Amino acid sequence: MPEIHVDHISASYRTPHGATPALADVHLTVPRGTVCAVIGPSGCGKSTLLKAIAGLLTPSVGESRDEGHAASLMAGRVTIGGAPVNPRQQSIGYMQQNYGLLPWDTVEQNVRLACRIKGKPVDEAVFHTLCAKLGIENLLDRYPRALSGGQQQRVSLARVFLLRPDILLMDEPFSALDAITREEMQEVFLHLWQESQVTTVLVTHYVEEALYLGQHIVLMSPHPGTIARVIENPLAGDEAARGSRAFQQRSQELRAAIRQMIRRENGADGRMTGPARQNSQAEPAGQDGPDGKGAE
């Protein structure tokens, strides 16, 4: 699986009031065969970063749509395995929080959809194995409206893993689920990922999700979006560690780091201040950062 390299990209949105910076000089490398979890305050550019990696924001195409506004990549580039990102040439799996299922297609048709769009033949053995592992083999003739949220997410997972993508991008894929179902789907994803080890970028609002799934955790600061810190996370994928004191301590540190960024952005008097200093050098989890406070 190829690595992902984000090379000093900047992006902005055009609104009726002019251009609004969304990302500023973001530099990041996601090692091959790892999960990188991206977390930070609302409005810090997490989803915009994911779109840039997916090749949806390019200087040549010029714009994409996000919340009714047009976004464009102003500087920098993204490479996958050393080659410039190109969704037509590369296989990029993209999971959204609304599952992305076509309501007029059956479960089976939705699972096969990505392969059909990319013109890739479906490995029937893999198709049936995935459906069995995800517990949807008896739902193939149903339509999305007849499925629960958890079942729809299983269909979405089956589709993206059947594609066998070069990279996988996930934009808060489990956020619409209740807490119990969300944890269940994290387990399901992790088991599938461990078999393929596809290079993955996961955007999330949930600290525990970032800690459980991400070998690397990217903290982003807002206005405009920059990378405040990249943390190596040895707790990723360890189900036994989920209830440990170390996991809880790391969770508290990440929350403190996000709260600190929000306070710094708002300033002591409530006014917006400049973005946090960007530092995309990885720091081993549990060790002090430059300010001597670990992730805080």
pLDDT(73) > 70: no
pLDDT(294) > 60: no
User: What is the number of alpha carbons within 13 Å of residue 286 lying toward its C-beta?
Assistant: 9
For residue 59, name the pLDDT band (cuts at 50, 70, 90). Answer: low
pLDDT(291) > 50: no
Return the minimum-mean-pLDDT range out of 1-10, 60-69, 71-80, 254-263: 60-69
Percent of the residues in the chain that have a pLDDT greater than 90, as a whole number: 53
pLDDT (mean) for 167-180 = 90
pLDDT tens column, 104-151: 999 999 999 999 999 999 999 999 999 999 999 999 999 999 999 889
Of residues 19 and 125, the one with the higher pLDDT is: 125
List the Cα angle 58/200/30 in 5-degree steps. 75
Tell me what pLDDT residue 70 has: 57
Tell me what pLDDT residue 219 has: 93
Q: What is the end-to-end Cα distance of the chain in Å, rounded?
A: 33
Angstrom distance (rounded) from CA 78 to CA 28: 10
Task: Tell me what the pLDDT averaged over the chain comes to.
Answer: 83
The rounded radius of gyration (Å) of the Cα atoms in the chain is 19
- Among 117, 96, 97, which Cα is nearest to 54's? 96
Residue 138 backbone phi and psi in degrees, to 5: -95, 10
Return the minimum-mean-pLDDT range out of 7-11, 98-102, 191-195, 271-275: 271-275
For the chain, give the longest Cα–Cα distance.
Answer: 61
pTM: 0.83
Give, in words, the CATH class of 4-86+199-279. alpha beta
pLDDT(281) > 60: no
pLDDT(194) > 90: yes
Angstrom distance (rounded) from CA 198 to CA 161: 9
User: What is the number of alpha carbons within 13 Å of residue 43 lying toward its C-beta?
Assistant: 9
Angstrom distance (rounded) from CA 278 to CA 18: 25
Tell me what pLDDT residue 224 has: 85
For residue 264, name the pLDDT band (cuts at 50, 70, 90). Answer: confident
